Amino acid sequence: MKQSALVSDDFKRVESHSCPMSTCAVPAGSPCRTGKGKVAIQYHTARFRLVPQLVKVLSVPTPAVRKPGSVWTKLPRPADADAEPVGHVRLGYARASTARQSLDAQLDSLAEAGVTRIFSEKISTRATRRPELEAIVKLAGEIRSSGVRVTLVVHEHKRLGRGIELAMLAEELKASDVGLEFLTGELKGSHDPSGIVFTVLAAMSGMEREYIRDRTLEGHESARKRGKTIGGAGVTDDSMVSMALHLRGQEMSLRDIAKKLVITSGAKKGQHPSPATVMRMLREHDEQKATAPLEPTA
C-alpha cells in the first residue's frame, strides 16, 4: 500500500472509529491527539487496526488537512458514527489443555447458546501462541468493523487464559469493540472486556496458579517433616524409568506401558503403576534431561 494512498484515503476510514487508547480517546471524526493536547503526527496503532484493510500496516500518517502538530480541537462526528450495529454475530471459542481432554461439553454448550461458528484447539495456556484464539479474535474485529455487533462466547473464563495473557486479550477485545460472554462458572453472563470485573479477573487468575503451587509445596514440605512419602515417588525407581523409556520408544500408550511395569518395593509391591504415575515419571525424566547441563565434548 502506497504512502500517498494512506494519506489521501485511509485516514477517513480510521477516523470513522473512536480511538480506543485511554491516553487519547478522541471521538470518531477527529484525529488522534498527543498527551500535550496536540494533533498527533500519526494515528494510534490500536485505532487504525480497527480497519481490516490497515491491520498489517505499521503506521498511518495524519494528513496535512488535519494539521499535525497544531492544537487539537474536536471535529464534527461522521453522520454514521452513532449508528447502531446492524445484526449480531456470536462466535465461540473452546479449548482443552491436553490432547486427551475432550471438548464435547464445551462444544455442546456453545451450540446450545446459539453460536454460529466455533473455533477450538487443544493447547496449554502456557503456549506462547494459540492460533485458533488469535484467528477468532481477528475475525471478530473484522466483522465488528463492518458494522455488525459481535460477541465472543466461551464456556468458562479459564478457557481464555490466565494473568497477563488474559489482560492483553481484554485490551484487544476492547479496541475492537467486541463483547464477551461466559456460559458457566462464577462469571457466567455478559461482560465488558474493559470493565472492572474483567480487570479483577485477569489479576486474580494470574495469582491462582502461584497460589496453588505455593500451597502444594507447603503441603509437601509438611508431609516430609512427618516422614510421609509424596505422591508416587515411592513406587518408581531407575530400572522402571529405563523400561518405561524403552517401551515409549516403541510408541506404546501410557496404559500399555503401565501394564508392562511392576512395582518392586513398598506397600504396592507386585502391582502395576497407574498410567498417571507413568506419565508423571516420564515427564519428570524429560524435564530433568532438558535442564541438565551439556557434557563437554572431547
pLDDT band at 291 (very low <50, low <70, confident <90, very high): low
Considering only CA atoms, which of 275, 241, 229, 239 is closest in space to residue 256?
275
Q: What is the pLDDT of residues 4-20, one digit of tens each?
A: 344 456 788 888 888 88
pLDDT-derived band of residue 43, with 50, 70 and 90 as boundaries?
Answer: very high
Q: Is residue 227 one of the residues assigned to a domain?
A: no
What average pLDDT is seen over the chain?
A: 78
**Alpha helix (H) ranges present in the chain?**
3-5, 11-14, 45-48, 104-112, 131-145, 163-176, 196-225, 238-249, 254-260, 275-291
Q: Is 210 exposed, middle or buried (0-12, 13-18, 19+ CB in 10 A)?
A: exposed
Residues 160, 114 share a domain: yes
Query: CA 177, CA 109: separation in Å to the nearest integer?
Result: 24
Residues in contact with 128: Cβ distance below 8 Å, sequence separation at least 6, in sequence order: none
Q: Is residue 271 part of a domain?
A: yes
Residue 148 lies in a domain: yes
Higher pLDDT residue, 182 or 200?
Answer: 182
User: In what order do the strands lie in the sheet containing 149-154?
Assistant: 117-122, 88-96, 149-154, 179-182, 189-191
Last residue of a domain, one of 78, 111, 135: 78
The whole domain housing 242 covers 233-291
Q: Decide if 159 contacts 139 (C-beta within 8 A).
A: no
Residues 44 and 124 in one domain: no
CB proximity list for 220: less than 8 A, separation 6 or greater: 230
| Lowest-pLDDT range of 105-114, 144-153, 200-209 | 200-209
pLDDT (mean) for 250-260: 84
Q: Would 159 be classed as within a structural domain?
A: yes
Residues 95, 74 share a domain? no
pLDDT of residue 42: 93
What pLDDT shows up at residue 282? 85
Residue numbers annotated as active site: 97
Per-residue pLDDT at 101 exceeds 70? yes
For the cut 70, the answer to whether the pLDDT of residue 226 exceeds it is: no
Tell whether the model's pLDDT for residue 232 goes beyond 60. Answer: no
Count of structural domains within the chain: 3
Average pLDDT over residues 170-197: 76
Q: Which residue has the cell 506419565?
A: 279
Which of 83-92, 94-103, 115-124 is predicted least confidently? 83-92
Q: How far is CA 1 from the centre of its chain?
A: 31
CA distances to 272, 277, 289 from 228, rounded to whole Å, are: 21, 18, 27
Residue 276 domain-assigned (yes or no): yes
CATH number at residue 188: 3.40.50.1390
Residue 218, in any domain of the structure: no
